[in-house]
Amino acid sequence: MIDSSEAAPPPRRRRSDARRSIDAILNAARVVLGERPDASMEDIAATAGVTRQTVYAHFPSRDALVVALIEAAAAEYLATLDAADLDTAPPAEALARFLDAGWQFLRRHPLLLSPTAPGAPRPNSNALSDVVPPRLERLILRGQRTGDFGASLPAAWLADAVIGLQQIAAAQVAAGRATTHEAEKLCLESTLRLCGGETSR
């Protein structure tokens, strides 16, 4: 008779298998929902290469899956901002890095471009709207103190305006009214003008 403790996979292996399944499901959700926001759990399971039951074992509802996707995307974006050294780079360069991080995020997670996208519930905490604007506001304030940016407008207002400008630029790309290169260039120049910085980059 085989001892049940010997037949069962060790806990570490079970955790590793579960983590791989979760990562595959989240990656599939990112791709599928980015293309079709109304895609079903069955569609996501098929793309992830797992059964529908496996998806539901980790995420009890579609909303739970989308919230987990948003939280994972937020963590990824914040890590990118952390690596950009926004608090130490020259203000204009830091602002360009901030925008670059945003473009990376929007390209990888198109579902999250609009907070009103169908089937995209908002997390109850740690939302990017609570975390990102203060970082940008701090960057703009630093630029205003050093004289790199104009100080006639409040930094908080400028931060919200810059974020909105990038979202509009990304929407122009999604609608086919501008190429990504055109939108990125125009967004950076417009942002620098808005903040009263040097635009001859």
User: N- to C-terminal Cα distance for the chain?
Assistant: 75
pLDDT at position 127 is 65
Which pTM was predicted?
Answer: 0.77
- The tokens for 75 are 């963590």
- Residue 7 predicted with pLDDT over 60: no
- Cα dihedral 111, 108, 34, 168 sign: positive
Per-residue pLDDT tens for 95-152? Answer: 999 999 999 988 888 776 644 454 455 555 556 777 899 999 999 999 999 999 999 9
Mean pLDDT of 68-91: 91
Per-residue pLDDT tens for 44-78? Answer: 999 999 999 999 999 999 989 988 988 888 888 99
Per-residue pLDDT tens for 175-187? Answer: 889 999 999 999 9
Q: Could you give the CA distance from residue 197 to residue 188 in angstroms, rounded to a whole number?
A: 11
Helix, strand, coil % (nearest 5) of the chain? 70, 0, 30
Per-residue pLDDT tens for 19-37? Answer: 899 999 999 999 998 888 8
- DSSP 8-state class, residue 36: -
Structural domains for the chain = 1-60 (1.10.10), 65-201 (1.10.357)
Neighbours of 167 (CB within 10 A): 16
pLDDT at position 101 is 94
Average pLDDT, the chain: 86
